Chain A
Amino acid sequence: MSSVRHHPKTQTLADFAAGRLDEARAVVVATHLGLCADCTKAVSDFESVGGHLLETTKPVEMAHDALEKILARADVTANVIVPASPALDQPERNLPLSGFLKGSIDDVKWKRVAPGLSQSVIEAQGYRQGVLRLLKIEPGTQMPKHSHSGNELTLILRGAYEDEIGDFGVGDLADLDGEYTHTPKAKGDEPCICLIATAAPLKFKTLAGRIAQPFIGL
C-alpha cells in the first residue's frame, strides 16, 4: 500500500528474514508486511540470501533411516494451510495476527489504563521473551511524555497519531531502539489502535505518566 510512510529498519527486516525476532516483534513485522510491498520485497531479498547460504553450505550426512522416517511422518495427515489474502481495511485479519486475536478487533476486551487510554495484552510468549499488546488511544488524547528504551515496534491498525517524528496512519510502523522520548497524540475522530511489541518497560517522564505506568502494567 503506497500510503505507508514509516517502515521497519532494514536490520529489523533482516532479523525477521533470518528468524531472529521474538514472537511479539515477528507478529508486528508480519502484519506490516501484509500492508507494505516494499518491505515484503526486502524480506524476500533477505530470504533469498538465506537460500543462497543454504545452497552453499557444506552438506552433513543425514541418518541412514531419515528419509524413511520423513516419508512415514508426512503420510499421517496432509495439513495444508493456505495463507489468507490480506484485507487492507482490516489489517488485523492478516496472518499471523488473526490467530492471536481470535476474532475481530471490535471484540477485543479493553482494559482502561488512564483517561483516554486502554490496552489489551496479547499472549505471544511462544518463543523468545517479548510483550505484545494493543493500545487504544481515544480521539484527541495526548499521551503523557514518556521515553522508551530497548527495541519497540508500533504498528497502526486503526486511526492515526502524531508525535515528534511525524504522522502515523494505518500500516505505518515506528521502529524504535535506544532512548527515545515522545508525546503521541491521537488524530481524527476514530480511536487510534496500535499493535505494540516491547522488549523493555515504558518510562514516563511526567508525574501523570508515572502514576499511569503501574496500570499499564509494563
Chain B
Amino acid sequence: MEALLAAVAKSGDRRAFAEIYGYFAPRVKGFLMKGGASPEEAEDLAQDAMVKVLRKAKLFDPAKAAASTWIFTIARNARIDAIRKASKPALDGEDPALAPEESPRADDLCELKQEKARIVEVLADLPPEQAKVMRLHFYEDEPHSVIAERLELPLGTVKSRLRLALEKVRKELGDHK
C-alpha cells in the first residue's frame, strides 16, 4: 500500500489509486458506520476522505507512517470537517489551519514495520474489556458518557479501562526504541 501511495504521489497513477481505493474505501466506510454514521453519511465521508487521499498523496511519507495510519488520520479529519460544515456552512473545510496536521510522524521505515507488528501484539495482549473500550474510543464520535451508558457501565469504569489501555500502548510503543 505504501508503494501504491508513492506511485499516486509521483505520477497520479490511477490504477494504483484504484487499488488503494478498493482496499481502504470500504474499510473507511465500515469504520464510520461502526461509529454510528448512517450508510449514506459513511459513503459520503468515505468519498471525501478518498478525494483527500488522492489530492494529498504527495504529503504521504512512507518513511514516517504506515498507509493505514495516514488514511486513518485523513478519515478522522474528514469526519471533523463534516461536523464543522454542519455547524457552520460558510467555513471552508479545506482550510489547513483548522485541521490537525495530517502528516504523521514516526522514525524510520524499518522501525515502522516493527512498530506495526508491535501494535498488533499490544492490542492482542489487552484484556478484552479494555480493548473494547479503546476500539469504541476510536470508532465513536459520542462522548465517553454515552459510550458508558450504552455499555451499561459507570463512566468511571469506562474511563479507567481506557486509561489503562492507552498507558499500555504508550508505554509499549514508546519504550521499544
Contacts and interface: CB of A to CB of B under 8 A. Distances in A.
A binds B: yes
Interface of A: 10-11, 14, 16, 18-20, 23, 26, 30, 33, 38, 40-42, 44-55, 57-63, 66-67, 69-71, 73-74, 78-83, 95-100, 125-128
Interface of B: 14, 17-18, 21, 24-31, 33-34, 39, 42-43, 46-47, 50-51, 54-56, 58-59, 65-66, 68-73, 75-77, 79-80, 83-84, 87-88, 91, 94-101, 103-106, 115-116, 119-120, 123, 134-135, 137-139, 141, 159, 162-163, 166-167, 169-170, 173-174
Contact of A55 (B27, B96, B159): B27
Contacts of A55: 27, 68
A19 B54 contact: no
- The 8 A-B pairs at the shortest CB distance, nearest first, are namely A99-B97, A51-B69, A59-B26, A51-B68, A19-B76, A127-B84, A50-B72, A74-B54
Given A57-B31, A62-B46, A47 B69 contact: yes
Given A51-B66, A51-B68, A59-B27, A16 B100 contact: yes
Contacts, number: 190
A78 B52 CA distance: 10
A70 B22 CA distance: 12
Contact of B100 (A66, A74, A96, A99): A96
Most buried by A among B42, B75, B87, B97: B97
A72 B88 CA distance: 26
Nearest to B137: A18
B138 A53 contact: yes
Contacts of B56: 80-81
B54 A70 contact: yes
Contact of A98 (B58, B77, B97, B134): B97
B163 A10 contact: yes
29 contacts: A14-B162, A18-B138, A30-B101, A40-B105, A42-B174, A44-B69, A47-B72, A48-B115, A49-B169, A50-B76, A51-B70, A51-B71, A53-B31, A53-B72, A54-B24, A54-B68, A57-B27, A59-B27, A60-B29, A61-B29, A62-B26, A66-B50, A70-B50, A73-B51, A79-B55, A96-B101, A99-B95, A127-B84, A128-B87
Contacts of B66: 48, 51
Interface of B, secondary structure class, is helix
Contacts of A73: 47, 51
Contacts of B141: 19-20
Contact of A30 (B17, B34, B100, B105): B100
Most buried by B among A14, A60, A63, A66: A60
Given A46-B166, A81-B96, A126 B88 contact: yes
B47 A66 contact: yes
Given A60-B42, A78-B55, A46 B169 contact: yes
A138 to B, nearest CB: 29
Nearest to B102: A83
A44 B105 contact: yes
A175 B35 CA distance: 27
Contacts of B106: 44, 48
A131 to B, nearest CB: 15
Nearest to A54: B72
Contacts of A11: 159, 162-163, 166
Nearest to B95: A99
A83 B91 CA distance: 20
